Amino acid sequence: MTIAIGSDHAGFALKEKIRRRLAEEGYDVKDFGTTSEDSCDYPDFAQAVARDVATERSDRGLLVCYTGIGMAMAANKVAGIRAAQGEREDEVKLTRQHNDANVLTLGARHLDEDGAMHLVRAFLETEFQGGRHARRVAKIALIEQGRT
């Protein structure tokens, strides 16, 4: 599985820890930056990761900022992206099972490395259930295309 990952300055340290752990676990990780804790603009990194996932060059995306909220808002502007901010395992699993989320955003303010990896594993290991949920995800795509 190929994972696109990115962060802003506030999420940089946590992103680096996640990136290293995923690589150690055998994932193909594509790092879209940032490369330091110098102040930067989160939409730049959200867009880069989201476009990579939307064009299917990566299977899933991970974004880290201070709260995870800004990254989710920015990533969701890219057609084909269903980004969800996750704080609890049940939320992360449900957004995969029911919404087929393809990008997970995390808040470095509230997570340590182990907590973040717990959520990341739930995101990467949980499958979309399809069925009635597929109909709903298809409706999201129609909204995106302006066809509702």
- Flag whether the pTM goes above 0.95: yes
98 an active-site residue?
Answer: yes
Please give the tally of structural domains in the chain: 1
Give yes or no: 110 in active site: no
The domain that holds 89 is classified in CATH as 3.40.1400.10
**Per-residue pLDDT at 146:** 87
Report the C-alpha gap between 80 and 144 in whole angstroms: 8
CA angle at residue 73 from 97 to 6, to 5 degrees? 80
How many whole angstroms separate alpha carbon 126 and alpha carbon 12? 25
Q: Pick the catalytic residue: 40, 98, 118, 133?
A: 98
Please give the mean pLDDT across all residues of the chain: 97
pLDDT per position as a tens digit, 74-126: 999 999 999 999 999 999 999 999 999 999 999 999 999 999 999 999 999 99
* Residue 27 confidence (pLDDT): 98
Task: Label residue 32 by pLDDT band (50, 70, 90).
Answer: very high
Q: What is the mean pLDDT of residues 55-68?
A: 98
Residues 6+ away with beta carbon under 8 Å from 13: 37, 108
What is the model's pLDDT at position 18?
98
pLDDT of residue 147: 81
Catalytic-labelled residue, pool 65, 110, 118, 133 = 65
- Reply yes or no on whether the pLDDT at 56 is more than 90: yes
Range 2-25 average pLDDT: 98
Domain membership of residue 52 as a residue range: 2-144
Cα separation, 14 vs 63, whole angstroms? 10
